[in-house]
């Protein structure tokens, strides 16, 4: 049993590290690097979101709001106020964490569809504020962001950004696996499985719901900060409803309660629109058909279903 816990952990981390290390050799130009870097950033958000949705069983349709807040916090603090980018990133993450902590207590009392509506509303409010505060955010046109630097070092070129995002992704996977395979991870899954039983076992359900909501929001914020420095520009659509839905779709497609599932889901849904461009006008049609097919034939998501197949085959 200890072996079964250990294998996906070390094996998966090694496999992911190998993919990240080798991938640049197969990327012919900047466009591909661009797509892969976005995969990495989306994966970081989805790992956090999967802790909330897949493990703790709490839906959020507003997580792009936290991503957008992180992005704008970095943009405004560095460009308008001249903060060092790392300080801005940390301040953004702390601010988003605080906001998530404050709204979590009332909002996590909601369940099922009502929680979906509550988080949807939260995301919409954030997106409206970012659009309306024109003096601060540049409004619907967005705002530019100037370069990133750490203690005087300025990363330039896609390859450097690739390594930064790749490293952050590996770190996030490691931390998330640590959480999952610990008393905290079991408490989160217990909250999902049965709140009544979790309480009876001494699990403070409200505490863990608030905790995982804050953690997932902070991860989204950090990804947003890195995103804005890489792209150099941010618009309110990053915080919008459509982006929130994309994120939750990545989690469901890759597999609920699966850290690697979040990575795979983010990779597929970020790359698919690029790969389907040969369909021209029918691109979205193909995209939708693939989504429906996966949900009908692999309802538990790609990674858990595949893992189960391999496990059953091995028996």
Partner 1 sequence: MSLLTVDSLSKAFGGNLVIDDLSLTVRPGAVHSIIGPNGAGKTTLFNLVTGIYTPESGRILLDGAETTGLAPYRMAGLGLSRTFQNLQVFFNMTALENVMVGMHLHCDSRFLPAMLRLPRIVRRDAEMADEAAELLRFVGLADAIDADSDALPYGALKRLEIARALATKPRLLLLDEPAAGLNPAETGEIDGLIQRIAETGVTVVLVEHDMRLVMGVSEHILVLDRGTLLAEGTGEEIRHNPDVVAAYLGEEGRYL
Q: Select from 178, 232, 282, 309 the one that contacts partner 1 (CB under 8 A).
A: 178
| Residue with Cβ nearer partner 1 (54 or 62) | 54
- Give the N- to C-terminal CA distance of the chain in Å, as an integer: 15
**300 is a contact residue toward partner 1 (CB under 8 A):** no
Exposed (0-12), middle (13-18) or buried (19+): which is 8, by Cβ within 10 Å? middle
Considering only residues 250 through 279, tell me which ones interact with partner 1, judged by CB under 8 A.
257
* DSSP result, 259-295: HHHHHHHHHHHHHHHHHGGGGGGGHHHHHHHHHHHHH
Q: Select from 25, 28, 183, 280 the one that contacts partner 1 (CB under 8 A).
A: 183
**302 is a contact residue toward partner 1 (CB under 8 A):** no
Helices and strands (H, E) in the chain, number of each type = 14, 2
Note the helical H segments in 133-240: 134-137, 158-180, 183-193, 195-200, 205-231
Signed CA dihedral, 268, 270, 273, 276: sign only: negative
| Ramachandran area for residue 175 (φ above 0: left; ψ -120 to 50: alpha; else beta) | alpha
Bridge partners, residue 150, by sequence: 153
Considering only residues 212 through 231, tell me which ones interact with partner 1, judged by CB under 8 A.
215
- In this chain, which stretch among 19-27, 28-36, 192-200, 229-237 interacts with partner 1, using CB under 8 A? 192-200
| Residue with Cβ nearer partner 1 (208 or 227) | 208
- In this chain, which stretch among 11-19, 189-197, 245-253, 281-289 interacts with partner 1, using CB under 8 A? 189-197
Distance of CA 47 to the CA centre of its chain: 5
**296 is a contact residue toward partner 1 (CB under 8 A):** no
| Residue with Cβ nearer partner 1 (1 or 296) | 1
- What is the closest distance, in whole angstroms, from the C-beta atom of residue 207 to partner 1 in the complex? 9
**147 is a contact residue toward partner 1 (CB under 8 A):** no
Tokens of 100: 């998530």
**211 is a contact residue toward partner 1 (CB under 8 A):** yes
Considering only residues 73 through 132, tell me which ones interact with partner 1, judged by CB under 8 A.
none
| Residue with Cβ nearer partner 1 (132 or 194) | 194
- Residue 108 in contact with residue 209, Cβ under 8 Å? yes
- What is the closest distance, in whole angstroms, from the C-beta atom of residue 190 to partner 1 in the complex? 5
| Residue with Cβ nearer partner 1 (151 or 196) | 196
Tokens of 150: 């750490």
Q: Select from 49, 190, 231, 266 the one that contacts partner 1 (CB under 8 A).
A: 190
Residues that bind partner 1 (CB under 8 A): 1-2, 4, 175, 178-179, 181-187, 189-190, 192-194, 196-205, 211, 215, 257
């Amino acid at each position: 049993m200890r072996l079964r816990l250990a294998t996906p952990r070390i094996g998966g981390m090694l496999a992911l590290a190998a993919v990240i290390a080798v991938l640049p050799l197969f990327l012919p130009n900047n466009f591909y690097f661009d797509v892969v870097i976005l995969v990495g950033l989306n994966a970081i958000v989805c790992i956090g979101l999967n802790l909330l949705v897949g493990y703790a069983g709490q839906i959020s349709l507003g997580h792009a709001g936290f991503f957008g807040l992180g992005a704008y916090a970095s943009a405004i603090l560095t460009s308008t106020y001249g903060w060092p980018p790392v300080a801005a990133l940390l301040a953004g993450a702390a601010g988003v964490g605080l906001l998530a902590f404050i709204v979590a207590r009332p909002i996590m009392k909601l369940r099922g569809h009502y929680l979906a509506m509550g988080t949807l509303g939260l995301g919409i409010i954030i997106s409206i504020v970012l659009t309306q505060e024109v003096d601060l955010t540049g409004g619907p046109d967005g705002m530019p962001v100037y370069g990133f630097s750490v203690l005087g070092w300025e990363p330039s070129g896609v390859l450097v950004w690739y390594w930064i995002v790749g490293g952050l992704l590996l770190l996030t996977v490691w931390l998330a696996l640590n959480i999952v395979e610990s008393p905290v991870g079991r408490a989160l899954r217990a909250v999902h499985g049965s709140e009544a039983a979790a309480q009876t076992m001494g699990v403070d359900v409200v505490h863990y719901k608030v905790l995982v909501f804050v953690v997932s929001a902070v991860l989204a914020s950090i990804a947003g900060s890195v995103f804005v420095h890489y792209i150099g520009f941010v618009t309110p659509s990053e915080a919008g409803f459509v982006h929130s839905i994309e994120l939750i779709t990545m989690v469901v497609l890759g597999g609920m309660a699966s850290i690697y599932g979040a990575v795979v889901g983010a990779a597929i849904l970020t790359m698919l629109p690029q790969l389907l461009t040969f369909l021209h006008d029918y691109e979205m049609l193909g995209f939708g058909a693939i989504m429906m097919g996966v949900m009908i034939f692999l309802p538990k998501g790609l990674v858990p279903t595949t893992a189960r197949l391999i496990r059953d085959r091995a028996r």
